[in-house]
């Protein structure tokens, strides 16, 4: 298989994976519907740089070494699962408080202040959600080790990294844009609290699943 075929296959598999529902997808949906386009785009930017770092670590073999060290990988799983659980509990707590008070967060806090004050926070949350996801680590280790041969040129590897990063940024930015159009925002406004709740459930379920797997793995080794 020549380098062009490798890059096309890499891009196709990665794009299909991007469209699959998961923490990254849920994070963009939650924040774009709640806070608008700019926050959604900064979330997308953070996610794309998390994916870029995962790709780079996989390409250089660092992620593979982590994956091959059971204790270290378990610690990564615990950190990632705990972070997703933190996001899940936060979203569910916010949903409960909103339903209890029967008022939307967007009515209590000016929309513009959220956009002005949370750019760095949105980027950081996107980056942390992706980089701390142990499932992403396993995915990129498998993707890179299967499709990118060690003999591939430095230029080819650089293009592969650019493809993975740019596809991620383009897809999540498009998702943020599509969910934050004025027409859709008006329709989603009354459902925002339920979207928060659904995303909170997704984060919580995935976080608990990852923590359970890591605990079981540690108990087996004891």
Interval 84-115: pLDDT, tens: 888 888 878 877 776 677 554 444 444 444 44
Query: Which tokens in the block code for residue 62?
Result: 């660092």
Q: Hunting for tokens 């498009």 — which residue is that?
A: 174
d(CA 79, CA 131): 10
The pLDDT value recorded for residue 106 is 46
Confidence of residue 166 (pLDDT cuts 50, 70, 90): very high
- Among the listed residues 25, 51, 52, 12, the one whose alpha carbon sits nearest the alpha carbon of residue 176: 25
Cβ pair 104, 189 in contact under 8 A? yes
- HSE value, Cβ hemisphere, 13 Å, CA-based, for 217: 17
Band of the pLDDT at 34, cuts 50, 70, 90?
Answer: confident
Q: Which residue has the higher pLDDT, 181 or 41?
A: 41
Distance separating alpha carbons of residues 45 and 173, to the nearest angstrom: 8
Mean per-residue pLDDT for 141-168? Answer: 89
- Yes or no: say if 190 and 47 are a contact pair by the CB < 8 Å rule: no
Residues in contact with 186: Cβ distance below 8 Å, sequence separation at least 6, in sequence order: none
Contact between 55 and 142 under an 8 Å Cβ cutoff? The reply is no
**pLDDT tens digits, 180-204:** 887 776 666 667 677 778 888 888 8
Contact 166, 50 (CB under 8 A): no
More confident residue, 150 or 19: 19
């Amino acid at each position: 298989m020549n380098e062009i075929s490798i890059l096309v296959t890499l891009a196709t598999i990665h794009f299909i994976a991007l469209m699959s529902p998961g923490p990254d997808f849920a994070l963009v949906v939650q924040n774009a519907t709640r806070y608008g386009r700019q926050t959604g785009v900064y979330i997308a930017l953070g996610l794309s740089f998390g994916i870029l770092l995962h790709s780079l670590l996989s390409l250089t073999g660092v992620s593979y070494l982590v994956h091959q060290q059971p204790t270290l990988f378990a610690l990564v799983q615990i950190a990632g699962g705990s972070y997703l659980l933190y996001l899940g509990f936060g979203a569910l707590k916010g949903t409960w408080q909103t339903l209890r008070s029967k008022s939307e967060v967007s009515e209590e806090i000016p929309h513009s202040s959220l956009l002005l004050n949370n750019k760095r926070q949105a980027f950081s949350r996107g980056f942390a959600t992706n980089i701390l996801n142990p499932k992403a680590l396993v995915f990129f280790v498998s993707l890179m080790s299967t499709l990118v041969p060690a003999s591939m040129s430095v230029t080819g590897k650089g293009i592969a990294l650019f493809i993975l990063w740019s596809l991620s940024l383009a897809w999540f930015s498009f998702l943020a844009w599509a969910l934050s159009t004025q027409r859709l925002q008006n329709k989603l406004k009354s459902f925002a609290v339920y979207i928060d709740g659904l995303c909170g459930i997704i984060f919580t379920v995935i976080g608990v699943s990852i923590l359970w797997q890591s605990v079981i793995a540690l108990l087996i080794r004891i």
